[in-house]
Amino acid sequence: MKKPILAGIALALASLLPATAQRVAPAEVQVMIQADKPGPVINPNVYGQFAEHLGHCIYEGIWVGEKSSIPNTKGYRNDVLDALKKLKIPVLRWPGGCFADDYNWRDGIGPRDKRPTRVNAHWGGVPETNEFGTHEFLEFAELLGTKVYISGNVGSGTVREMAEWVEYMTSDTTSSLANERRANGREKPWKIDYFGIGNETWGCGGNMRPEYYADLYRQYATYVNLRTPRDNRPLLVASGHTNATTSWTEVLAGIGSVQAISHHFYTHPTKEWRDKGAALGFAEDQWISTLDYAMRMDSHITDNVRVLDRIDRRGRIALYLDEWGTWYDPEPGRDPGFLYQQNSIRDALVAGLTFHIFHKHATRVQMANIAQMVNVLQAMILTDGPKMLLTPTYHAFEMHIPFQGATSLPADVSTPRYLFGEDNVPAVSASAARGTDGKLYYTLVNLDASKEAVVRTHVSGASVRSASGRVLTAPAIDSHNSFDAPNAVIPAPISGSLVDGAIVLRLPPRSLTVVALQ
Ligand code: AHR
pLDDT tens sequence across 90-138? 999 999 999 999 999 999 999 999 999 999 999 999 999 999 999 999 9
- Predicted confidence (pLDDT) per residue in 298-329, tens digit: 999 999 999 999 999 999 999 999 999 999 99
187 is known as an active-site residue: no
pLDDT at site 54: 98
> What was the pLDDT predicted at 118?
98
**Among 405, 425, 452, residue at a domain's last position:** 405
pLDDT band at 23 (very low <50, low <70, confident <90, very high): low
In a domain, 4, yes or no: no
Q: How far is Cα 515 from Cα 29, in angstroms, rounded to an integer?
A: 17
Nearest alpha carbon, ligand 1 atom 1: 371
DSSP 313-365: TT---EEEEEEEEE--PPPTTS-GGG-----BHHHHHHHHHHHHHHHHTTTTE
* Catalytic choice (128, 323, 422, 452): 323
Q: Are residues 191 and 280 in the same domain?
A: yes
Q: Please work out whether the CB of residue 323 comes within 6 Å of at least one atom of ligand 1.
A: yes
- Mean pLDDT for the stretch of residues 9-17: 37
Give the end of a domain, one of 360, 381, 405.
405
Q: Of the candidates 348, 502, 293, which has an alpha carbon nearest to the alpha carbon of residue 414? A: 502
d(CA 80, CA 62): 7
Q: Which among 380, 358, 340 has a CA at the least distance from the CA of 88? A: 380
Do 116 and 130 meet the contact criterion of CB atoms below 8 Å apart?
Answer: yes
How many structural domains does the chain have? 2
Instruction: Give the model's pLDDT for residue 5.
Output: 37
Whether the pLDDT of residue 3 is over 70: the answer is no
Q: What percent of the chain has pLDDT over 70?
A: 96
CATH number for the domain including 450? 2.60.40.1180
Nearest Cα residue to atom 4 of ligand 1:
97
Asked if 479 and 373 sit in the same domain, the reply is no
516 φ, ψ (degrees, to nearest 5): -100, 135
Residue pair 72/127 in contact by the 8 Å Cβ criterion: no
Instruction: Single out the residue in 381, 405, 429 at which a domain terminates.
Output: 405
Supply the CATH number for residue 363's domain. 3.20.20.80
The rounded Å distance from CA 98 to ligand 1 centre is 6
192 lines ligand 1 (CB under 6 A): no
Tell whether 1 is covered by a domain.
no
What is the spatial distance between Cα 159 and Cα 149, in angstroms, rounded to a whole number?
Answer: 18
Mean per-residue pLDDT, 124-153: 98
For 232-299, the three-class secondary structure string (H helix, E strand, C coil) is: HCCEEEEEEEECCCCHHHHHHHCCCCCCEEEEEEEECCCCCHHHCCCCCCCCHHHHHHHHHHHCHHHH
Give yes or no: 200 in active site. Answer: yes
Q: Which structural domain range is residue 425 located in?
A: 9-40+409-517
Do 341 and 476 lie in one domain? The reply is no
Residues 214 and 151 reside in one and the same domain: yes
By the 8 A CB rule, do 427 and 459 touch?
Answer: no
CA distances from 243 to 267, 352, 378, 403 (A): 10, 19, 17, 25
332 C-alpha vs ligand 1 centroid, how far in Å?
20
According to DSSP, the β-strands at 91-94 and 48-50 are parallel
Confirm if 481 and 432 have CB atoms less than 8 A apart.
no
Report, as an integer, the average pLDDT of 509-517. Answer: 98
Pocket of ligand 1 contains residue 144 by CB under 6 Å: no
Residue with CA nearest ligand 1 atom 7: 97
